C-alpha cells in the first residue's frame, strides 16, 4: 500500500489544521483529518454550477459567490458556463494558502482567470452591501461544516436571510451535501426561497450520491 503524504499544511480561517494530502497520485484536502474535498471528485459541483448558471447566460455581468475554494471544481465549471468578459466569480477562501497550492497539485489551475476574485471575508462571514444583487451563491456543506466555527449553521435563519438579501430577484443559492440535511428544506422555504432538490453521483462511475439543493429567490427578470 502506498503511503499518504502530507505535502502542505496551513491554518484555516477558523483556526483549524488544513492539509493537502497526496496518495497514489491523487490529491485530497483534509481538515483535522477529515476529508473535505478531492481533486477527482468534482462531478456534483460541476453539475450544480451548470444548473445555477443556465438562467444567467444572457446576463452582461453575472456574479457568483463561492463560500470556500476547495479544489476549485465549482469555479472551473462557472468559468466554462459563463464566458462573459464582465462576469465575476468571487471566492471567500477558507485559507489563503490554497490559492498557491492549486497550481502545483492540479493539471489545470481553476482560478487562472482575471474574473476570479478573492475577498478578505471568510465563508462564514455575513455578506456585505457590495454583494447585493448577486446572481448566485454556491456552498459545499460537507466542506463548510468541517471548517465552521461552533456558532455557524446553514440552518440559522440569520445565515439564510443574509444569502436571500444579497441575491437578486431570481438569484440562486446552490448547496451540496453528502446526505439530506434534516430541516434544511423547511428553513430555506421559511427564508423565502423556492426549492428543488436532486441526487448526483459522487463521480461519473460512482453508485453513491450527493444531494443538491437549488434554492431560488423569486422570479428572474432579465435586464439589458
Q: Each residue of 204-213: pLDDT tens digit?
A: 778 889 999 9
Integer Cα distance of 223 and 133 in angstroms: 12
Q: Looking at residue 4, what is its pLDDT? A: 79
Q: Looking at residue 97, what is its pLDDT? A: 93
**Which phi-psi region, left, alpha or beta, contains residue 206 (left: φ > 0; alpha: ψ -120 to 50)?**
beta
Query: Can you give the length of the chain in residues?
Result: 224
- Distances 129 to 162, 166, 192, 223 between C-alpha atoms, Å: 10, 8, 19, 20
Buried b (16+ CB within 10 A) or exposed e, 25-61: eebbbbbeeeebbbbebbbbbbbbbebbbebbeebee
pTM of the model: 0.94
Q: Write out the E strands in 63-154.
A: 63-67, 88-92, 116-118, 134-140
Question: pLDDT band at residue 221, thresholds of 50, 70 and 90?
Answer: low
Q: Looking at residue 223, what is its pLDDT? A: 47
Domains identified in the chain and CATH numbers = 41-217 (3.40.50.150)
Buried b (16+ CB within 10 A) or exposed e, 104-143: ebeeeebbeeebbebbebbbbeebeeebeebbbbbbbbbb
146-174 tens-digit pLDDT: 999 999 999 999 999 999 999 999 999 99
Integer Cα distance of 143 and 71 in angstroms: 11
In the chain, % of residues over pLDDT 70: 96
Examine the pLDDT at 104 and tell me if it is beyond 90.
no
Q: Looking at residue 206, what is its pLDDT? A: 80
Amino acid at each position: 500500500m502506498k503511503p499518504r503524504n502530507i505535502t502542505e499544511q496551513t491554518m484555516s480561517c477558523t483556526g483549524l489544521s488544513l492539509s493537502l494530502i497526496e496518495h497514489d497520485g491523487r490529491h485530497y484536502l483534509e481538515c483535522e483529518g477529515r476529508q473535505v474535498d478531492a481533486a477527482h471528485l468534482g462531478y456534483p459541483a460541476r453539475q450544480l454550477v451548470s444548473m445555477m448558471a443556465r438562467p444567467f447566460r444572457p446576463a452582461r455581468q453575472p456574479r457568483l459567490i463561492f463560500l470556500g475554494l476547495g479544489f476549485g471544481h465549482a469555479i472551473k465549471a462557472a468559468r466554462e458556463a459563463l464566458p462573459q468578459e464582465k462576469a465575476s466569480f468571487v471566492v471567500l477562501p477558507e485559507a489563503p494558502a490554497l490559492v498557491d497550492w492549486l497550481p502545483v497539485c492540479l493539471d489545470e489551475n481553476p482560478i487562472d482567470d482575471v474574473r476570479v476574485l478573492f475577498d478578505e471575508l471568510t465563508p462564514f462571514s455575513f455578506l456585505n452591501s457590495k454583494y447585493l444583487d448577486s446572481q448566485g451563491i454556491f456552498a459545499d456543506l460537507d466542506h463548510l461544516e468541517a471548517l465552521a466555527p461552533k456558532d455557524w449553521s446553514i440552518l440559522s435563519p440569520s445565515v439564510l436571510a443574509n444569502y436571500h438579501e444579497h441575491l437578486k430577484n431570481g438569484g440562486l443559492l446552490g448547496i451540496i451535501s453528502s446526505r439530506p440535511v434534516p430541516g434544511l428544506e423547511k428553513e430555506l422555504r421559511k427564508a423565502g426561497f423556492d426549492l428543488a432538490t436532486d441526487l448526483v453521483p459522487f463521480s461519473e462511475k460512482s453508485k453513491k450520491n450527493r444531494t443538491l439543493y437549488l434554492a431560488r429567490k423569486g422570479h428572474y427578470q432579465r435586464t439589458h
